[in-house]
Amino acid sequence: IPPVPTILDKNGRFNPRGMGILIDRLLASDIDGFLFLGSAGEFAQLPAATRKEVAEFCVQRVAGRRPVIIGTASCSTEEVIELSQHARDIGADAVMVVNPYYSKLTDQRIYDHYRHIADAAGLPVLLYNFPALTGQDLSIELVLRLAQDCPNIVGIKDTVDCMSHIRRLILEVKAARPDFLVFCGFDEYMLDTLLLGGDGVIPATANFAPHVTCGIYKAFAEG
């Protein structure tokens, strides 16, 4: 599932034509779905109105041909809920939410943030762990608690340069909730994640070389 870049024009405005070209190219490949407005989609640099415009265009362009995940993260719980409900209303299949950045929060406060979102979003939610950028790791214990308490928190993208963290998610969280999805975020951990019992990868390289990541996944699936 590639984390698709948001295509902008030379003035920094959303470029629907360029975005459409990239989406159509990916639809012609073997990818399993799309993630829009993740880190590569520059969600943190775009105003909410633009994020909604991008989400609407992308969902319409994909037109149900593959599942679509929309990144709806914000430091504001209220804004995450607003963007997540918008994603639901335009027909997205799920949302992905990185934890609040800038402020250091206790696990309880991060739990409350995600719990409010899960209760209000109205569609499946993927956690997004990227401590190198947020400054704060989602602990295994926190992820396990959210997975057990919130049925519509369905998985996690774990962008960590540490295979042991992904391994613990698979061995401890999936053991308690087998349907919980574990995706790695760094491309080079794709095969290791699959071998350990994880579910896949959200790799930037799939935007320009989908035959490589899709080929690895297919070869693994076929034994």
- The mean pLDDT values, 10 residues at a time, for the chain of 223 residues are 97 96 98 97 95 98 98 97 98 98 94 98 97 95 98 97 95 97 96 97 96 96 95
Q: Which is catalytic among the residues 52, 74, 84, 128?
A: 128
Q: Which is catalytic among the residues 74, 157, 174, 189?
A: 157
Query: What is the distance of C-alpha 149 from the center of its chain?
Result: 20
Tokens describing residue 184: 């790695």
Q: Which is catalytic among the residues 10, 102, 103, 104?
A: 102
| Residues paired with residue 158 on neighbouring β-strands, in sequence order | 129, 184
Predicted confidence (pLDDT) per residue in 107-166, tens digit: 999 999 999 999 999 999 999 999 999 999 999 999 999 999 999 999 999 999 989 999
pLDDT of residue 40: 93
Q: Does 217 participate in catalysis according to the annotation? A: no
Residue 111 amino acid letter: Y
pLDDT of residue 219: 96
Alpha-carbon distance of 77 to 114, in angstroms, equals 8
Burial of 178 (0-12, 13-18, 19+ CB in 10 A): exposed
Q: Which is catalytic among the residues 39, 74, 84, 114?
A: 39
Residue 18 amino acid letter: G
Q: Does 128 participate in catalysis according to the annotation? A: yes
pLDDT of residue 87: 98
Tokens describing residue 186: 């760094």
Q: Find the angle CA(181)-CA(182)-CA(184) to the nearest 5 degrees.
A: 145
DSSP SS3 for 103: coil
Alpha-carbon distance of 47 to 85, in angstroms, equals 17
Total-model pTM: 0.96
pLDDT of residue 141: 97
pLDDT of residue 82: 98
Q: Does 157 participate in catalysis according to the annotation? A: yes
End-to-end CA distance of the chain: 20
pLDDT of residue 81: 98
pLDDT of residue 88: 98
pLDDT of residue 168: 97
Neighbours of 6 (CB within 10 A): 22
pLDDT of residue 119: 97
Per the CB < 8 A criterion, the answer to whether 104 and 135 are in contact is yes
| DSSP for residue 92 | -
**Which among 103, 87, 160, 104 has a CA at the least distance from the CA of 128?**
160
